Structure 1
Amino acid sequence: LQEELISVKMREAESNLAVKEMRQRLSELEQHWAARY
C-alpha cells in the first residue's frame, strides 16, 4: 500500500513538473511575440 502511494505521488510530481515547464515555455513564447510587435 505504501509503495503504491509513493508511486502515485511521484506521478503527480512529474505531471506538475511537466505543467510548470509548459507554462514557462508559453510565457517565453508570449514574451517573444510581445517583443516582435
Structure 2
Amino acid sequence: MSRSDIKKIEMKKLAQKKASHIKDPVQNVRVLLYLI
C-alpha cells in the first residue's frame, strides 16, 4: 500500500465519522424528547 492509498482510507474513515456525528445529534434530540 502506498502512502496515498493510506491517506485515502484515512479520509474515508474521517468522512464516515463526520457522517455518523451528523446523525448522532438527531438521535440525541429524539432521546431527550422521549425523556421529557
Q: Would the TM-score normalized by the shorter structure come out above 0.5?
A: yes
C-alpha separation between the residues in 2 aligned to 1:32 and 1:7? 38
RMSD value, Cα = 1.2
Q: Structure 1: which 5+ residue stretches go unaligned? A: none
Residue-by-residue CA offset, 1:9-33 (whole Å, 9 max, x unaligned): 0000000011111111111233345
Structure 1 runs, 4 residues or longer, greater than 2 Å off: 29-35
Q: Structure 2: which 5+ residue stretches go unaligned? A: none
Percent identity over the alignment is 6
Match of 1:17 in 2: 18
| TM-score normalised over the length of structure 2 | 0.72
Match of 1:7 in 2: 8
